[in-house]
Structure 1
């Protein structure tokens, strides 16, 4: 993974961000904060993450089934078991090259298995648990990629939170997980409803609540693809512009704009007073301070970039919360933009200060 980060001479794709193949400031945590604070559509990202976790839960279930079959099967017959074949041909995640094919095999196996009572006890405490992946009212980022607040008891991204007390998934756990996704995100009027086409919603609802009572991950494929495309089209370009080409959050940019405009006003007011009082050029050199502060903060607002912080290797996650830039291509891009911006800032600052310092004074 780290080898790929060092050789990637481009911005990452949304799939790479969601697959946790990137680092700050284009990591999954940053994208979650962006979706929550700026895009105001974090429910779409939570849905995508919960469906991914449901897939991992299904894989854990098949692995448990595989181990149970192996333990109860004579050595000569182990290679003929279908669950062993499915497990051995299951991809390890969305980054796996065989992921789509293996996930289809996994879903086909879970549908045909139809909740075998031999390997899936009827009683499972996991099916009675509340949804562990649904954030509370404050919707804190998930602890799987978050480094700040982990105090909420409902926050977790581990599929194991759906499990029973023996830490092993049951068939009822898969169904409870699928139903929780449906009732939390998809049904009209649900707690965190996302907007998807009605045809996709009806298909998912029929598969879960209908006679099939499916819980395999493939039943969410259409909804997951739709949400992925929506995020890729509507949110991800803004995320790249905000974090790949800049290092400030909107609240910080607004504060800088206010400070810059106030400094500008004070600098112009002081400049005209000194000119019309016919003060010496040495005295007027003090105008460099307010003009420099005003121009610098206005530039940082316009470019969404603090060049000094960028050259030091820092990016702002939230207001006044700075973290190191670890993505090599982002670091190189921000350094180049920072140098260009500093040169332009120095030229404008020198021109404005020279104008008000060297202009002839006249006492009124």
Structure 2
């Protein structure tokens, strides 16, 4: 995870998805928000699965390059470039930019049909003779408990095809287990590429990935920032504070009118009204802004009901502290006004 100490702004969606942010605006918090509040976690899971598929493709190409170097140790740079395993594509760097992903896809498409030394060196591990594409995920390559980047783990071409099919069957086909809504032209393009053209390169998901990213950026991410960067409470917790606040205010007003109309002496007894008014106003303000000021000052944020995490993103920490101080000041002012009003009003026994 990259350092965020110099970021003097709120993070972008790409930074969150790339795991470059810290709680409470990290990827885990965004996942919880999409699941519990936005109710559209399938879109995020699709985006993450496509990103994982791209990583798997990169791993496969790196292994293919190593296979070429082992099987043809006397191969010079020029022959390697003509063999179907170009040095500028198969190097260990430069995969992070979108242009490199396009080059990766182009190489996988050509590698799938070429009779290059790289393909011959991999032998039968690239494709099981006579079987075509597997019908579903059958490899441990995408097992979350498997370290796909470990040297001892081998990624085969069937793993790439199974990964692409898993995404298609899980998210994109009509009636799929976790179907997401995408334009029909995008769905047909992906389905045709995987099932008819037998493609498994990352480019087949580009349009869908961009569409889902823009949808999350437009519809979900602004609400996520409001909830986590400007507040620290989840909706059930804010609702609980609303109930407590209303009950406390009702008790405060009931006690205040009782003291006035019973003309209880001395008047200093009415100062006890500060307790229900403080609780009531504090809870109502916390509900209104979805921000508990005390939690904000000590740097705690709630990601599920009664589950808390430390605020580690520096800019968000400062932002929450400023808003907490402002809410506390407003709370103190309102409590003081209410207390003074009911303390100094003349009593009249009924």
CA distance in 2, matches of 1:2, 1:60: 22
Question: How many residues of Structure 1 are paired with residues of Structure 2 in the alignment?
Answer: 334
Farther-moved stretch of structure 1 (354-363 vs 34-43)? 354-363
Q: How many Å apart are 1:126 and its aligned residue?
A: 12
- Name the residue aligned to 2:292: 306
Coordinate RMSD, CA, aligned: 2.4
Q: Secondary structure at the match of 1:25?
A: coil
- Name the residue aligned to 1:101: 99
CA distance in 2, matches of 1:28, 1:168: 28
CA distance in 2, matches of 1:20, 1:59: 19
Residues 261 and 298, structure 1, Cα contact 8 Å, conserved in 2: yes
- Trace 1:162-173 onto structure 2 (pairs within 5 A): 167-173=153-159
Which structure: larger Rg?
2
Q: How many Å apart are 1:127 and its aligned residue?
A: 6.3
- Trace 1:254-293 onto structure 2 (pairs within 5 A): 254-280=239-265, 281-293=267-279
- Name the residue aligned to 2:148: 160
- Trace 1:177-326 onto structure 2 (pairs within 5 A): 177-210=163-196, 212-280=197-265, 281-326=267-312
- Name the residue aligned to 1:329: 315
Q: Check 1:193–1:132 CA distance in 2 against 1; reply closer, same or farther (3 A cut).
A: farther
CA distance in 1, matches of 2:249, 2:107: 68
Q: Secondary structure at the match of 2:5?
A: helix
Q: Secondary structure at the match of 2:291?
A: coil
Q: How many Å apart are 1:288 and its aligned residue?
A: 0.9
Q: Check 1:48–1:243 CA distance in 2 against 1; reply closer, same or farther (3 A cut).
A: same
The Cα offsets for residues 93-134 of structure 1, whole Å up to 9 and x where unpaired, read as 3xxxxx11111111011000116464252459996538997x
CA distance in 1, matches of 2:120, 2:348: 97
Q: Check 1:185–1:117 CA distance in 2 against 1; reply closer, same or farther (3 A cut).
A: farther
Residues 56 and 159, structure 1, Cα contact 8 Å, conserved in 2: no
Unmatched runs of 5 consecutive residues or more in structure 2: 114-118
TM-score (norm 1): 0.86
Q: How many Å apart are 1:358 and its aligned residue?
A: 1.5
Q: Check 1:90–1:30 CA distance in 2 against 1; reply closer, same or farther (3 A cut).
A: same
One of 111, 114, 117 as aligned partner of 1:113? 111
Q: Check 1:313–1:132 CA distance in 2 against 1; reply closer, same or farther (3 A cut).
A: farther
